[in-house]
C-alpha cells in the first residue's frame, strides 16, 4: 500500500497506548477492599483486571493455617511467591490494562512472626523493591474502627475486632511509605466509602496516563 505525504502525519498523531498500571487495594481485615475491587471492575469495565488475593486462594485450597511460627513463615513465603506470579501472569495476559491487586506482596511483612525486615530478607527482596512494583496504593481502613462486625462471610477470616485494628495500623504504617498512598477511612456509610475509593482510583489512572494532575502524590482522606 502506497501512502501519500498527507496521510503519513495523521498516523503519527494516533492516540498513545494507555500506560499499564498496577494498583494495590489493601487494608485491615473487613475494610471492604474485595467488594470494592469487584465494584470497580464493574464500573470501569474491561480496562481493569482483578488480581485475586493469594492468601485466600491458598487457604481455601487447603494450605495449612497455623499460629506456630515456622508454619506462619512457610505460609507467608508461599503467599508472597503466589502473589507475585499472579500479578505477573495477569500483566502478561492483559497488557495495557489496569491491574487491581487484592492485597500486595508487602502485606506479608505484617503477618510474619518477626520484624518486617526479616520477612523481606526471607523472600530475597527489600521494601523499596516491592513498593516500586506498584503505581499506587488505595488503603481501605477496617470497619473494626467503628465496632462493626468484620466477618463478612469470609471463612478464612478469624481476627477479632481488636486484632483487625492492630493489623490495620501495621499495614498502614508500612504501605504509607508509597508516594501514591490514598487512605479511604472507615465510614458508617459503605456507599460513601466505596464512592470515595472509586473516585481515587479513577484519578490515579487518569494521572498515570497524563489525563490530569489534580491528584496529589501523597495521602488523602475522605471528608
| Residue 87 burial (C-beta neighbours within 10 Å; 0-12, 13-18, 19+) | buried
Just give the CATH number of 19-160+175-208: 3.40.50.300
Give the domain ranges of the chain: 19-160+175-208
Q: What is the pLDDT of residue 88?
A: 95
Please give the model's pTM, rounded to 2 decimal places: 0.81
Q: Residue 211: what pLDDT?
A: 52
Give the pLDDT confidence score for residue 172 in this predicted structure. 97
Cell readout for 186 is: 472507615
pLDDT for 188? 86
For residue 21, what pLDDT is reported? 87
Query: How many beta carbons lie within 10 A of that of residue 72, not counting itself?
Result: 17
Backbone angles phi, psi at 49, to 5 degrees: -125, 130
- Predicted confidence at residue 113, as pLDDT, reads 95
pLDDT averaged per 10 residues, the chain (length 223): 46 48 90 80 80 94 94 97 97 91 96 96 97 95 76 64 91 97 90 86 79 41 46
Q: Can you give the pLDDT at residue 96?
A: 84
Amino acid at each position: 500500500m502506497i501512502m501519500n505525504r498527507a496521510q503519513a502525519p495523521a498516523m503519527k498523531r494516533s492516540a498513545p497506548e494507555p500506560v499499564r498500571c498496577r494498583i494495590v487495594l489493601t487494608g485491615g481485615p473487613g475494610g471492604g477492599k474485595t467488594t470494592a475491587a469487584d465494584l470497580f471492575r464493574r464500573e470501569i469495565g474491561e480496562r481493569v483486571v482483578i488480581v485475586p488475593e493469594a492468601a485466600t486462594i491458598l487457604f481455601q485450597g487447603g494450605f495449612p493455617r497455623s499460629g506456630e511460627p515456622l508454619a506462619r513463615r512457610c505460609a507467608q513465603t508461599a503467599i508472597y511467591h503466589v502473589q507475585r506470579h499472579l500479578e505477573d501472569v495477569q500483566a502478561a495476559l492483559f497488557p495495557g490494562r489496569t491491574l487491581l491487586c487484592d492485597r500486595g506482596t508487602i502485606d506479608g511483612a505484617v503477618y510474619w512472626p518477626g520484624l518486617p525486615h526479616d520477612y523481606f530478607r526471607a523472600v530475597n527482596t527489600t521494601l523499596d523493591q516491592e513498593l516500586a512494583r506498584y503505581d499506587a496504593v488505595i488503603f481501605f481502613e477496617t470497619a473494626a474502627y467503628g465496632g462493626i462486625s468484620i466477618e463478612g462471610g469470609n471463612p478464612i477470616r478469624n481476627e477479632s475486632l481488636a486484632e483487625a485494628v492492630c493489623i490495620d495500623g501495621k499495614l498502614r504504617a508500612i504501605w504509607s511509605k508509597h508516594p501514591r498512598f490514598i487512605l479511604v477511612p472507615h465510614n458508617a456509610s459503605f456507599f460513601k466509602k466505596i464512592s470515595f475509593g472509586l473516585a481515587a482510583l479513577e484519578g490515579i489512572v487518569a494521572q498515570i496516563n497524563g489525563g490530569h494532575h489534580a491528584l496529589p502524590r501523597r495521602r488523602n482522606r475522605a471528608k
